[in-house]
Amino acid sequence: MEAFFESSLIQHPLQLLTWGSNAVTEASLLTSVLATLACGLFTVFLSTFLWRWHFENCRDPSSSLPLPPGSFGWPVVGETLHYLREGMTDFVSNRRPKDGVFKTHLLGSPMVRVDSDQKISQLASKEPHGLASSLPQSTRFIFGENGVSVVSGKDHASMKKNLRQAFAPVRLRDYLPIVQDCIRRHVTSWAQGADENKMLGFKACQRLVCDLILETVVGCTRDQDPDGKVREAFVICNDNMFCVPLAIPGTTFYKVKQARQVVVDFAKARIEAASSSDKDYVSVLDVLLTHQGKSAEALPKDGAEENLREDSDEKSSENGRLSEIQLIDNAVTIMLAGTDTVTSALCSILKLLGKYPEKLAAFRKELESQDLLDSGRDDDLSFELIQSMTYLQAVNKEVLRLLPPVAGMFRSTKKTVEIEGCQIPANWRVLYGVSSMHMVTEAFTDRENFVPERWLDPNLEKQLKNEYPCSYLPFGIGSRMCLGRELAQLEMSVFAIEVARLIDWTLLNPDARRVLRPIEKPFDDLPVAVRRRK
Ligand code: HEM
């Protein structure tokens, strides 16, 4: 050692100093790294503890029931990152306890997820006093504050009753020729030419549905929108229902605001035109206008728009009639609520009938038995005929069971709500699972498979009604149940008939992963090869 010091110190005094100071620096560096790490870990630990403790303390002491089981995850983000990483199906199945209710923290708020027939039924019975619909701000803006999805309570009930007139069976009969014409036009175009055409099924269905909805809801045919401006604006609104609600030039929301105005201006022009003509019912808007008992001339006009925004709810419940701004907001709401949902359903028909050729063959047999398979006519469908086709109805129901377009429904609690075994405090979000419910309920056997035949058994519908009232919810439940469900089923039926008789198609990636954006769809938009049916 001495020798070492001697030789080193004498020969390299500076070297020893450097070595010494290096050793000190490294040690202190290590210490400070460790200390920082420990501090960081402690901060994460403490903030996570406080975060969870805070939400656990949101429990309403006036109720003796505990909060549901589950975790609030990490500070600020909650379990949002887990949700994004695992995907909805795994996220739910990794957490779902036996009774189907768990708490979490997603997308900025505490939330209770419910996947139990009995519990959804208990919660739905507490609407609208205990729970209200809960839409993101950007969606509320696009739908419009005076539309049926946004208003609540008594005003919602009276507005919905008013709007239902446009979806009565007698009206669906009126829309059928428009629906059939539009669907035939699109499906025929998919198989143009002698060769096979490759396309993205989801995108093709989306173009079809945009045309369909503009024609059936506001009567916007191609010749009324020659430069495609209304269609383009409508697609912008539809594609950006969930965006940051910041209306600064350059932002998505700013673009959406301008696009919404184009759609609104078109609807206004239609209302004005309707007052000066005596046409038959051609669109949902025409039906609604006629049912207001007076023409658009008598409806409050633009100048009064701001006032109407403030007291429109009152007006609608007072006299049961819709003002101009309510008509417009509802037209926009109906259009947007009926676009991606129907697109998803049509895309799933294409997928499931393409994937299971034996089911397509069974369906074609039913069409043949009704002389529809090779009829060659483009106006051969009637409302009654469609209703009488049992296999077709079974296909529709099974498509909506296996791949429901709306995977879940959001609510928020207005006050503390108690259900069997737990409480949900005020201002928490509640999410009713739809697709997961369809997959866990005992109401169905062979749940993972596409079996339209199950719906041919009349006992199934009875059983669902009496024993499992919340086990099949493609169109929702209770007061917020889908307004356009009969129109959607009609559109699905006509689509299934036309694709089965006009085209043959092959799925190019039949087992593609499913995503929620925010409706159910294949991640690759369903590539298909289409040819004219031989
Ligand atoms: C297969 C297609 C469709 C599916 C699966 C579907 C599903 C749903 C669901 C689950 C709800 C309830 C949402 C909730 O409780 O928060 C709903 C509401 C609604 N749907 Fe549909 N829908 C479809 C097509 C349509 C169509 C074609 C229209 C109109 C043309 C429409 C208009 C509406 C409206 C206006 C509401 C809001 C009702 C309210 O707030 O009271 N839907 N839909």
Q: What is the ipTM of this complex?
A: 0.99
Task: Indicate the residue type of 148.
Answer: V
Taking the centre of ligand 1 as the mean of its atom positions, its distance from the CA of residue 485, in whole angstroms, is 7
In a domain, 108, yes or no: no
Domain with 500 in it: 140-532
* Core vs surface per residue 488-510: b (16+ CB within 10 A) or e: bbbbbbbbbbbbbbbbbbebeee
Give the chain's domain count.
2
Looking at the structure, do residues 181 and 299 belong to the same domain, yes or no?
Answer: yes
* Core vs surface per residue 253-281: b (16+ CB within 10 A) or e: bebbbebbebbbebbbebbeebeeeeeeb
Residues 335 and 213: their CA atoms lie apart, in Å, by 6
Please compute the mean of the pLDDT values over residues 69-82 and round it to a whole number.
90
In a domain, 10, yes or no: yes
Residue 225 belongs to domain with CATH number: 1.10.630.10
Of the candidates 271, 273, 264, which has an alpha carbon nearest to the alpha carbon of residue 292? 271
Residues 416 and 304: their CA atoms lie apart, in Å, by 39
In a domain, 287, yes or no: yes
Highest mean pLDDT among 122-136, 233-247, 388-402: 388-402
Residue 231 CA: distances (Å) to CA of 260, 286, 305, 307, 388? 11, 19, 25, 30, 34
Taking the centre of ligand 1 as the mean of its atom positions, its distance from the CA of residue 205, in whole angstroms, is 18
Residues 88 and 439: their CA atoms lie apart, in Å, by 13
Taking the centre of ligand 1 as the mean of its atom positions, its distance from the CA of residue 516, in whole angstroms, is 16
Of the candidates 168, 158, 177, 147, which has an alpha carbon nearest to the alpha carbon of residue 484? 168
Residues 6+ apart with CB under 8 A from 184: 378, 498, 502
Looking at the structure, do residues 42 and 161 belong to the same domain, yes or no?
Answer: no
Looking at the structure, do residues 402 and 523 belong to the same domain, yes or no?
Answer: yes
Do residues 278 and 286 lie in contact, with contact meaning Cβ atoms separated by under 8 Å? no
Task: State in Å, rounded, how far the first CA of the chain is from the last one.
Answer: 97
Question: What pLDDT, on the 0 to 100 scale, is given for residue 8?
Answer: 44
Residue 301 has pLDDT above 70, yes or no: no
CA 435 from centroid of its chain's CA atoms: 12
Looking at the structure, do residues 395 and 517 belong to the same domain, yes or no?
Answer: yes
Looking at the structure, do residues 160 and 284 belong to the same domain, yes or no?
Answer: yes
Highest mean pLDDT among 4-8, 55-59, 497-501: 497-501
User: Residue whose CA is closest, atom 16 of ligand 1?
Assistant: 409
Query: What are 233-278's pLDDT values in tens digits?
Result: 988 998 888 888 888 999 999 999 999 999 999 888 888 887 666 5
Please compute the mean of the pLDDT values over residues 39-58 and round it to a whole number.
88
| Percent of the chain residues topping a pLDDT of 90 | 62
Residue 333 CA, closest ligand 1 atom number: 35
Give the DSSP letter of residue 81.
H
In a domain, 369, yes or no: yes
H helix or E strand, kind and range, residue 503: strand 503-507
Ligand 1 binding pocket, CB closer than 6 Å: 133, 148-149, 160, 333-334, 337-338, 341-342, 345, 405-406, 409, 474-476, 480, 482-484, 487-488
In a domain, 63, yes or no: no
- The answer to the question of whether 482 is labelled as a binding residue is yes
Looking at the structure, do residues 27 and 155 belong to the same domain, yes or no?
Answer: no
Taking the centre of ligand 1 as the mean of its atom positions, its distance from the CA of residue 174, in whole angstroms, is 21
Please compute the mean of the pLDDT values over residues 215-241 and round it to a whole number.
88
Residues 397 and 451: their CA atoms lie apart, in Å, by 10
Strands 503-507 vs 514-516: parallel, antiparallel or unpaired? unpaired
In a domain, 89, yes or no: no
CA 468 from centroid of its chain's CA atoms: 23
Looking at the structure, do residues 26 and 172 belong to the same domain, yes or no?
Answer: no
Describe the strand order of the beta sheet including 197-200 as a list of residue ranges. 197-200, 527-532, 503-507
Residue 206 has pLDDT above 90, yes or no: yes
In a domain, 84, yes or no: no
Residues 385 and 469: their CA atoms lie apart, in Å, by 28
Query: What are 397-447's pLDDT values in tens digits?
Result: 999 999 999 999 999 999 999 999 999 999 999 999 999 999 999 999 999
Structure tokens at 151: 């208003």
Query: What are 448-467's pLDDT values in tens digits?
Result: 999 999 999 999 999 999 99
Query: What are 509-518's pLDDT values in tens digits?
Result: 999 988 877 7
In a domain, 267, yes or no: yes
Give the DSSP letter of residue 295.
-
Given ligand 1 and candidates 485, 490, 492, 519, which is best to mutate, with the most ligand atoms within 8 Å of its CB? 485
Residue 117 has pLDDT above 60, yes or no: yes
Looking at the structure, do residues 208 and 309 belong to the same domain, yes or no?
Answer: yes
Structure tokens at 118: 């009995």
